[in-house]
Structure 1
Amino acid sequence: MLITGMAWNTALGADTDGVWRALLAGQSGVAPVASAYPLRNDRAAALPGLPADLDPVRRQFEAGAKPLRAALAEAGLEPADPRLRLVLGTSYGAHLDVPPDGLDLWGATLASELGLARRPLMVSTACSAGSDAIAVGAALIDAGEEEICVVGGVDVLTPAKRLGHSALGTMSPTALRSFDAAHDGTILGEGAAFLVLEKDLDRRVRPLGRLIGVGAANDAAGPTAPDPSGDTVVRAVRAALAAAGRNTGDVAVINAHGSGTPVNDDIESLAFTTAFGEAAAPVVFATKGAFGHTLGATGALEAVAVLLALRDGRVPPIAGLETVMPGFPLPLPTGAPLPITAGLGLSVTIGFGGFTTCLALEAAA
């Protein structure tokens, strides 16, 4: 599956290469974000340029509109092209903070206001929604149902989400430190990213990479807490590699979920030990220390990050990581970028409700 356009909107900005340079320099978009409610931490990663008091529904629209336009432009496509099918992922978007009027309406508004000819498809599978939107788009093209899909995720900061994660105890009282010995929780963020997928390229545009495999699994362990064994992550990784016709020795880099919560970090450590053992040593990186945990946008943002890492042959340092947690089995970049060899890139996302998805990506030839 060819990827012909991609763009993101993050707490570090929206310029694809500019944000990538900021990540490589170790920068973070996490900063104090005012709230009228008592929170476990007043820090978050908000999108620059959006007023703090912007209506949540409009905030969701503004967050997604910029990268959607940019991804289509890079692919050389007009929004009104009748071949396009938009597939959108989100956790709850603005839905927790506004009167219930349908979780899909923001997507229909986004499509119509940008001039897309067809109503979008919506995916809401918690924190794996962005990855699952990519998987749905790829499946539609493989099945011959669609010719070109624009896929991605959008999620925004709202008071209800920040209060919810404070109540759950998943929010760090200090800082997000993925895979650090002192990790104590996550920090929320907002963002959006889109990729353009098509199977047979008959247009004069240079592919940016390829999606070559998808794997998914669900542990059904509970509404929020995942299965502590890590087996669900292992199954998703192995399914993605099987779909790609590859093995663990082909993997050069993994963008881990890296939420910074002890439970999730421990699960990924166990899963990577089981899946990779001593046969291979791909470099693992994570972007949530820089972008915050963007919930339903996470998988799409991280797919873009993996493609940029494969393009440049290096990964950015993990923001907030100083002392690697005991027993983590694979190399992690601390303080400076790490080089990676040519090969396959994986993006792993883990969501509430047990949703776990792995995308297998390659650089353009």
Structure 2
Amino acid sequence: MGWTTALGDGLDEVWQHLGDGRSGIRPLPDDGPLPAPAAALLTDDGQDRTPTRRQVRLAVTTASAALRDAGCPAGDVDALVLGSSLGPHLDDAAETPPHALTAAVARQLGVARSVSVSTACSSGADAVLTGAALLTRGEAERCLCGGIDLLTAGKLLGHQALGTLSASGTVRPFDTGRDGTLFGEGAGFLLLETPAAAAARGARVLAELAGWGASNDGTGPTAPDETGAGAVLAVRHALARAGAGPGDIAVVNAHGTGTRANDTAEAACYGTVFGTAPHPVVFATKPALGHTLGATGALEAIALLLALRHGSVPPVLNTRAVMPELTVPLAAGAGRQVTGSLGISLTLGFGGFNTCLVLAAPEGSTA
């Protein structure tokens, strides 16, 4: 696996920063695309100013890091599955088809087959789900799955019009005073293999994708179903595929956008799913990494995997007064220990896209 975030690109480096309570969210520069309170931006070295070129370069760099971490050459990968929330298509003047970004990344990596996924903020998680479907159907043995998004003027304009951005300049997941989210830039990739393919090359197994599920609220183009019913379906499908129950889940990486509607739906989902079962520890990374849109699902899967590896979760920054609707324990203000080997990552995207991934720590891990 590999990631590029506003807190850095090293797996252990970023995890340490998250544990220390650091945030990559900063005020936007005066010469930015549009006025906004803050965002978690990547360092821009000025090489590529066009949105498409910048996104392709970031994707290639991050995907290459994931392949190095896996010890797997790109030529042994059957397919690249890349998710993005509209990518650069709102801002790039060049008339290119939506799949062009993914195809360009695949060519530069040397991967023969490529698949594009665009399901708003669930894109990165759905890229992993799509890779799993290719593997289980026997259409591939190895898929490099990930998500990417960079801040552009079009995305900023759209979210300003929708009123989803925080006016206070902070992301406060599940806080009674939450007032919106803030953008982040980033990319994350995971190499997904069948057990046989991993064993054949002596791969270092980081985790098992034990289950996955997806659903759609069908309620509107942007607003979620605040009852959480669609998200509940996604979680229950994922748990069923994993052969697990709510009481088996030790940790949850929440979507945690800090918007009133999204947090309300997510809290309702957890209340329904977990009920009186032993409660997992819940954490969220958007106060530190920003809302990275199409990259979110991939980045949060990596963060969940690291939480299982280390047996702990980082603090949820900025949240002080937890909303009473959230009935599961939130690591607000301080990190917590995790005991158990199963975790879930849940993403809730615009258009009602709900995706849940169940990850299992390998035997002998610290979790």
Same fold (TM over 0.5): yes
Alignment-derived partner of residue 7 in structure 2: 12
Kept in 2, the 8 Å contact 1:93–1:156? The answer is yes
CA RMSD in angstroms comes to: 1.4
Cα distance per residue 1:273-325 (max 9 Å; x no partner): 11101112101111111111100100000000000000000000012222212
Alignment-derived partner of residue 298 in structure 2: 300
Alignment-derived partner of residue 146 in structure 1: 140
Alignment-derived partner of residue 225 in structure 2: 227
Structure 1 residues 1-365: aligned runs within 5 Å: 6-34=1-29, 35=31, 38-39=34-35, 41-51=36-46, 54-81=49-76, 83-99=77-93, 100-116=95-111, 118-174=112-168, 175-199=170-194, 200=196, 201=198, 202-365=200-363
Cα distance per residue 1:105-147 (max 9 Å; x no partner): 111111112222x131100011000000100101101110001
Report deviation, 1:52: 9.7
Kept in 2, the 8 Å contact 1:13–1:48? The answer is no
Kept in 1, the 8 Å contact 2:33–2:152? The answer is no
Distance 1:95-1:154 versus aligned 2 partners, 3 A rule = same
Equivalent residue letter for 1:212: A
Distance 1:146-1:37 versus aligned 2 partners, 3 A rule = closer
Per the normalisation by structure 2, the TM-score is 0.94
Aligned length: 357
How far apart in 1 are the matches of 2:45 and 2:322?
35
Distance 1:344-1:88 versus aligned 2 partners, 3 A rule = same
Report deviation, 1:53: 7.4
SS of the aligned residue for 2:270 comes to helix
Distance 1:150-1:53 versus aligned 2 partners, 3 A rule = closer
How far apart in 2 are the matches of 1:84 and 1:16?
25
Kept in 1, the 8 Å contact 2:50–2:92? The answer is no
Report deviation, 1:50: 4.1
Kept in 1, the 8 Å contact 2:34–2:153? The answer is no
Extract structure 1 runs of 4+ deviating beyond 4 A. Answer: 35-38
Kept in 1, the 8 Å contact 2:216–2:353? The answer is yes
Equivalent residue letter for 1:170: T
Equivalent residue letter for 1:69: S
Distance 1:126-1:235 versus aligned 2 partners, 3 A rule = same
Equivalent residue letter for 2:317: A
Report deviation, 1:206: 1.4
Distance 1:8-1:97 versus aligned 2 partners, 3 A rule = same
Cα distance per residue 1:237-296 (max 9 Å; x no partner): 101000000000100000111010011111111111111011121011111111111001
How far apart in 2 are the matches of 1:78 and 1:302?
25
SS of the aligned residue for 2:250 comes to strand
Kept in 2, the 8 Å contact 1:90–1:155? The answer is yes
How far apart in 1 are the matches of 2:157 and 2:50?
17
Cα distance per residue 1:148-175 (max 9 Å; x no partner): 0000101111011111101110011112
Kept in 2, the 8 Å contact 1:151–1:195? The answer is yes
Distance 1:317-1:36 versus aligned 2 partners, 3 A rule = closer
Distance 1:38-1:205 versus aligned 2 partners, 3 A rule = closer
How far apart in 1 are the matches of 2:183 and 2:351?
18
Alignment-derived partner of residue 3 in structure 1: none
Report deviation, 1:28: 0.6
Distance 1:186-1:52 versus aligned 2 partners, 3 A rule = farther
How far apart in 1 are the matches of 2:314 and 2:208?
21
Report deviation, 1:37: 5.4
Unpaired segments of 5 or more residues in structure 2? none
- Tell me whether 24-33 or 95-104 shows the greater mean CA deviation: 95-104
Equivalent residue letter for 1:25: D
How far apart in 2 are the matches of 1:338 and 1:189?
25
How far apart in 2 are the matches of 1:244 and 1:133?
18
Report percent identity of matched pairs: 51
Unpaired segments of 5 or more residues in structure 1? 1-5
Kept in 2, the 8 Å contact 1:37–1:163? The answer is no
Report deviation, 1:340: 0.9
Report deviation, 1:335: 2.1
SS of the aligned residue for 1:97 comes to coil
Equivalent residue letter for 1:308: L
Kept in 2, the 8 Å contact 1:9–1:64? The answer is no
How far apart in 2 are the matches of 1:53 and 1:321?
37
Report deviation, 1:54: 2.2
Report deviation, 1:336: 1.9
